[in-house]
Amino acid sequence: MKKTNSTNAKVKKSARSEGKSKSARKKLDALEKKKIIASLTLMDDLFMQVVLEEQACTEYILQTILDKSSLKLKEQRLQKRLPNLHGRALVLDCLCTDEKGLLYNIEVQNSSAGAIPKRARYHAALMDTHTLKKGEKFSKLPESYVILIIQMEKDLKFDTSLLA
């Protein structure tokens, strides 16, 4: 009996120390997670994807950027792939359609490198290509917006005349 009791005591002690160890790991994991979360900004792709999952957040971003408080989204798709048999395909961060049928592509980029007007033009072209069905008239193409949200470097001078 004593042997059994001492074995049980060791098992219980081991389980308690294991429980303390798990608790310490959870606290460490929680601290690590808090540090990671504290370092995130909306410019981080993963964080922005989580924000854009909420249609209300996407609407708010578009309403603010376009100064259209009445804008309401009908549909949105994250990481929408637009294949291209004749060239470069795209994966759009967020592709939305509002209640009026207008299209919006929201792209988030940490660096201004490559964020040129021709990139927005290419996005718009592929969006148009994937919008019309075979035989549809060009007049059916909806109005569309490509919105590049870019983290600008301090010393960068962006030529706004390119936006016209």
Q: For residue range 49-95, what is the model confidence (pLDDT) as tens digits?
A: 888 889 999 999 999 999 999 999 999 999 999 998 888 999 888 99
91 pairs with which residues across the strands? 81
Whole-number pLDDT of residue 42: 66
pTM metric for this prediction:
0.67
d(CA 11, CA 8): 5
- Stronger pLDDT, 134 or 113, i.e. the higher one: 134
C-alpha distances (whole Å) from 158 to each of 18, 55, 117, 118 are 57, 30, 11, 14
State whether the Cα torsion 47-50-53-58 is positive or negative. Answer: negative
Residue 109, pLDDT above cutoff 90: no
DSSP letter string, 116-146: -HHHHHHHHHHHHHTTSPTT--GGGPPPEEE
Yes or no: say if 77 and 95 are a contact pair by the CB < 8 Å rule: yes
Reduced to 3 states, what is the DSSP secondary structure of residue 35?
helix
